[in-house]
Structure 1
Amino acid sequence: MKKALLALIFSGATLGAASAQVEIGLKVSPSITSLRVDSPSDYGFRNEGSRAGIGGGVIVDYFFGQNYAFSSGLFLTGKGGTVSYFDDATRSRQQQKFGLQYLEVPVTVKLFTNDVATDTKLYFQVGGSLNAALAGKINDQKFYKDPGNGNAETKAYKHIILPDAALLGSFGVEYQLGQSTKLLAGVTYKRGILNIDRYFDNTRKFRDVTIKNSEVALDLGIKF
């Protein structure tokens, strides 16, 4: 009985190892990003516009079944947008255009269909991403002078909380070009779930202001 059980476990492990497959590739993602803002009505925070960005990096798909993969990677991504608010100190509406750069690590599951056409599959990807801010600009400058704070100059990078996280959803198509080469194209939506504001809360002492990232990207890639 023990021998039979050990043989079954060993054969299952061997089959799992044989079926496991890792595919690595490169991806570039032009995107439209924006900032979701919320605050008490006294401050009047609102989204004033989106920002065109681009990202790219390495894809890693680890298959644990024929049509199922754990998908991750490492990506450099541009985010940001334009927000405005009413500043009681200047009795006027102020506007800030954020340009942010993040390093992202997706933590997702990717599900593939069977062939919908010759050598062509659809995929659906769900999960999240863990992000770290690397750099930032406000109004295209690395330093920002706040007219509502006596024109005090601060580093734009210091206005945001460095870690961020997002929910991620994606769908697309993958085409088998050769024995191990695949082309992919898809659309991804990332919805930030953490408040990234550090300046209005800590420096200006504004109450209950939240700023969160949003992104829609076109994914174009190749796997080897």
Structure 2
Amino acid sequence: MKKALLALALLTGGAVTTASAQVEIGLKVSPSVSSLAATSPPVTSFKKDGSLASIGGGLVVDYFFGQNYAFSTGLQLTSKGGSIRYVQDDQLGKPSDVQKVRLQYVEVPVTVKLFTNEVATDVKLYFQVGGVVSGLTGARIDGEKFYRGTQDKSRSHFLFADFGLLGGTGVEYQLGQSTKVFAGVSYHHGLLNIDRYFDNSRSFDDVSIKNREIALDLGLKF
């Protein structure tokens, strides 16, 4: 009986250890440079006019379903945006206008991470690919929450959500039994037209504004 209980305890302990080792949780900080890819017909000539430097970060969760394969998600806060330039009314001779946009998102990555075997002692490379679901939490145009002195909230000019593709690569270093540090670079490619103002309120035809971002990902997993 004692031998059976001991065997059961060992098996249970081994199962718990294995299960806990399958999930790695950590924190990351991500300095980034973002821009707005703007397009339209020649009459309004929407185009990118500048980039936005910001910093974000949040929770990272890697769930391993193989020795070198993990489903990677988390919860992150990030800022995106940039400057866009457009022609207000070419026929009336109005000058071009510039908007400086800052958008605040809460994001949930839905990605897969592929790890190499060790390329040096305790060092692995990783490659990450998948998508990002984003929810808009705030917006400023030219630094203001309200659009140029009106009662129109800047946030209402943009789609409440975004979805994009994510691709990245980096290096991970094992510090201890369960502690790892990582550093990488990732590219975020927004797929949705986030404009809700120029088409709806200004009657500009075929205006498209999409997010683009390059981020440096620095983090610690426990």
Establish whether TM, by shorter chain, passes 0.5.
yes
**Offset, 1:213:** 0.1
Whole-angstrom CA distance in 1 between matches of 2:180 and 2:172:
7
Q: For 2:102, which of 99, 103, 112 is the aligned residue?
A: 99
Q: Could you tell me which residue of structure 1 aligns to residue 156 of structure 2? A: 158
Whichever residue aligns with residue 118 of structure 2, its letter is D
Could you tell me which amino acid in structure 1 is paired with residue 177 of structure 2? Q
By how many angstroms is 1:90 displaced?
A: 6.8
Match of 1:202 among 185, 197, 200: 200
Aligned with 1:117 (options 102, 113, 120):
120
Q: Return the structure number with greater strand share.
A: 1
1:77 is matched with which residue? 78
Q: Secondary structure at the match of 1:158?
A: helix
- Aligned positions of 1:139-150 closer than 5 A: 139-145=142-148
Corresponding position of 1:5: none
How far apart are the structure 1 equivalents of 2:152 and 2:198? 12
What residue number does 2:55 align with? 54
Structure 2 residue aligned with 1:26: 27
> 1:91 deviation in Å?
1.0
Q: Letter of the aligned partner of 1:200 in structure 2? A: F
Counterpart residue identity of residue 94, structure 2? R
Q: Name the CA distance, whole Å, in 2 between partners of 1:186 and 1:152.
A: 42
Residues 166-206 of structure 1: per-residue CA shift (max 9 Å, x gap): 10001000000011000000000000000000000111111
Task: Provide TM-score, normalisation by structure 2.
Answer: 0.89
1:97: Cα distance to partner?
0.3
TM-score by length of 1: 0.88
Q: Deviations over 1:106-141 (max 9, x none)?
A: 000000000000000000000010001100000011
Alignment coverage as a number of residue pairs: 205
| Distance of 2:151 and 2:34 partners within structure 1 | 26
- Change in 2 beyond 3 A, CA 1:152/1:143: closer
Deviation at 1:96, TM superposition (A): 0.2
Q: CA deviation at 1:162?
A: 0.7
After the TM superposition, which segments of 4 or more aligned residues of structure 1 sit over 2 Å from their partners? 17-20
CA positional deviation for 1:18: 4.2
Query: Letter of the aligned partner of 2:207 in structure 1?
Result: V
2:11 maps to none
RMSD of aligned C-alpha atoms?
A: 1.7
Deviation at 1:53, TM superposition (A): 1.0
Instruction: Tell me what 2:40 maps to.
Output: 39
**Secondary structure of 1:135's aligned partner:** strand
Q: Describe the SS at the equivalent of 2:147.
A: strand
Q: Secondary structure of 2:194's partner? A: coil
